[in-house]
Amino acid sequence: MSHWMFHCDDVSQKISQSMDTVLPFNQRMAVWMHLLMCRYCYRFRQQLMMLRRMSRAVGNGSTCAQAEDMLSHAAKERMKKKLDASS
Amino acid sequence: MEGKQEINPEAWVDEYGDVLFGFALARVKDRETAEDIVQETFLAAVRARERFKGQSSEKTWLFGILKHKLVDHYRKNKSTVHVQDFIQDPDSLEVFFNAKGSWQIRPENWRADPGKSQENREFLDHFYRCLSGLSQKTADVFAYREIEGLSTREICQRLGITSSNCWVILYRARMLLRRCLEGVGFGKKHGGDIT
């Protein structure tokens, strides 16, 4: 199959893979040519980018609770006791 | 960071208890549950302390454990969304494409704006429910890569899998997660200002 003739199933895999590694030049070109013509693969790529941005936000704590949401002294003491018993 | 660090589990409670609790509370909306999850995190950390090599900070390491505990929590509770609700056979991704390799279940135009905090909160709820509906391994690989930001090489080392295996699992996770998010209605609301 010519690299210019990727189908959506192949392209979707390449789009996903391109988020984890650098694709060879010919594959990058083939994917971009396909994206120019296929709005569903374009949407798929947009979705994966959004999924990544929001997942990273989940991971970096940018959606934490308010500062006043802290553990009570009693809760901390309970935890210490359990940790002491388990270690 | 040099060598192996001295680990003091009780000091973790004073030093990291509040930040871990705040992070958990924003995701479970119930103080008691958040407290339990933080406690489980500390206990799991004690059990796994031999594996802490000091390559990351203690805080990062504890947060990593906490994030997995949160996914476990959603998995154990009825709030999990199963991908099977939206596609018939989640073991096969072929259902997404027709015989010619074109999209059969077409990706929708997501209209959410990740910058808006309200949508972030909505996303969080859907996200954890969908993530916990994936198989354990698929969810773990996705969480390592997209939530914790590990490289595929680090994931391969941690789980003892090959790069191509990792890419296949990530592709699968992304396909199923985005479909699950669409299924629960994420991306359809608050879109009036985006075309």
Residue B195 has what pLDDT?
27
Length of chain B: 195
Q: Hey, are the CB atoms on B124 and A58 less than 8 Å from each other?
A: yes
Q: What is the pLDDT of residues A43-67, one digit of tens each?
A: 999 999 989 988 887 766 555 445 5
| Residue A29 belongs to some domain of the structure | yes
Query: In Å, how far is A29's CA from the nearest CA of chain B?
Result: 19
- Structure-model confidence comparison of residues A32 and A87, the more confident one: A32
Q: Do B35 and A52 touch (CB under 8 A)?
A: no
Count how many domains chain A has.
1
Which residues does chain A have within 8 Å of residue B171's beta carbon, measured at their own beta carbons? Answer: 12-13, 16-17
Of A20, A56, A65, the CB nearest to B26: A65
Q: Could you give the CA distance from residue B137 to residue B143 in angstroms, rounded to a whole number? A: 10
Average pLDDT of chain B, as a whole number: 80
Whether residue A42 is contained in a domain is answered as yes
* pLDDT value, residue B52: 72
In a domain, A57, yes or no: yes
Tens of pLDDT, residues B30-82 = 788 899 999 999 999 988 877 776 667 888 888 888 988 888 887 777 566 66
**A48 lies in some domain:** yes
ipTM over 0.85: no
- On whether any CB of chain A is under 8 Å from the CB of B180, the answer is no
- The verdict on B37 touching A (C-beta cutoff 8 Å) is no
Residue A42's domain comprises 8-86
**How far is it, in rounded angstroms, from Cα B124 to Cα B114?**
11
| Residues 129-168, chain B, touching A (beta carbon < 8 A) | 142, 145-149, 152, 163, 166-167
What percentage of chain B has pLDDT greater than the value 90? 23
Cβ–Cβ contact B192 with A under 8 A: no
Contact between A48 and A16 under an 8 Å Cβ cutoff? The reply is yes
Q: Tell me if chain B has a CB within 8 Å of the CB of A35.
A: no
Q: Do A55 and B23 touch (CB under 8 A)?
A: no
Distance (Å, whole) CA A55 – CA B177: 11
pLDDT of residue A36: 94
Q: Has residue A3 been placed in a domain?
A: no
Selected for mutation to probe chain B from A8, A11, A41 (highest B CB count within 10 Å) is A8
Out of A13, A20, A63, the one facing B121 most closely (by C-beta) is A63
Instruction: Quote the percentage of chain A above a pLDDT of 90.
Output: 51
The answer on pLDDT for A3 being more than 50 is no
The answer, yes or no, to whether residue B83 has pLDDT greater than 70, is no
Q: For residue A50, is it within any domain?
A: yes
pLDDT of residue B3 exceeding 50, the answer is no
CB contact B42 to A (< 8 Å): yes
Query: Are residues B112 and B189 in contact, defined by beta-carbon separation less than 8 angstroms?
Result: yes
Asked if pLDDT for residue B194 goes beyond 50, the answer is no
Domain assignment present for residue A17? The answer is: yes
CA distance B82 to B75: 10
- Residue A2, in any domain of the structure: no
pLDDT at residue B189 tops 80: no
More confident residue, B74 or B13: B13
pLDDT score, position B2:
43
The reported pLDDT for the residue numbered B193 is: 32
